[in-house]
Structure 1
Amino acid sequence: MFATFRHNLRNKFIAGVVIVLPVGITVVLLGMMFQWLDKFFAPLALRLTDRQIPGLGIISTVLLIFLVGLIVTSIIGRAFVSFGEHIVAKIPLIRSIYYGAKQLLETLTAEKRRAFTEVVLIEYPKKGSYSLGFITAETAPVIQENITTPLINVFVATTPNPTTGFLLLVPQKEVTILPISVEEGIKMVVSGGIIHPQSLPIV
């Protein structure tokens, strides 16, 4: 009984760390950026306008983040980001923190939720084993016209990086739709099953 309690306690703690650590680091970094920009621009604004400008650090932080967004979405910017991630991937601790924060932010974006329509359970990779998947769309006509059984495109994401995985064309009758949101499904994949909804259907 004590071993079960200790196991549950550890799982709950790890689940909390998975969520809190990336968010906490993001908040701390934004706070540091705000303070630095406020100290840098406040004296300059005072000399130019002869008065203090409230919230200058926040405004500067928002503008800086927007500028970074413009840069990284350009072709040259994406190349620099790719190079930076290649370097980060070689640093064990920094790598875990960076990719954890990145995956959490990607989980919460509307674009990710629109890409997946429903969370499903499929028998994969072998009989008796099941995988969590996400329906992306109906199978393309060029494929479906060669198969008599109706198929569905199911994306099976990998843990802990849900941006990679496998595209499976699964017979519609073999797909079990789960009563959970796409966001809950992605969190379950990212955490390796530590974070999960309270109830799932038994297959």
Structure 2
Amino acid sequence: MKQLQKIFLQGLVTFLPVALTIYIIYAGISIVDSLLGDSLRLIMPVYIPGLGFLLTILLIFLLGFLLNSLVAAGAFHKLEHQLMKVPFIKAIYGPLRDLMNLFSKGGGAGHAMQTVVFVDMGETGVRALGLVTRENFKDIPAIEANAGDRIAVYIPMSYGLGGFTLMVPRSKITPLDMPIEKAMSLAITGWVKAEKNDEVP
């Protein structure tokens, strides 16, 4: 019986990551496909599955191409400025825009996830892995006036997409020579497995 349990667990450990990866990719493609696919189904006599996904990808590339034009970029920023005047839209669109900027091009000075660090947690000797998200607060006077020598550090949580941000004195952080992607991978998985070249001090 124990041998059967061992064989089953080995199969389960192999099967679940593969199945979940395939499911997540499939679900993501289905969601993107439905963005334009639902509209296309109304006007096309025969809908080809995946056409909405391809058109969405093309639309994203077209939008990126247009935003490289000064005229189109200027028009978009004017539209964005007007949208940000609407309270409800501002509450949703603003944070989403900042999040996308954070992971794409850094979002400008003071907003980039610039450095992977260890944060000293008091006198306990405990350290937490974090990502520096801000080193200045010039655009937030109320925070700048009270920040002192502190910077904002995001501490990701394990086995989830959440986390929390701390205002940490610079003297309490130790920069690590590690790619941000690797740090996030380690944090999210709880450091269950790390290769030799992933080791940190």
Give the structure, 1 or 2, with the largest relative contact order (CA under 8 Å, sep 6 or more). Answer: 1
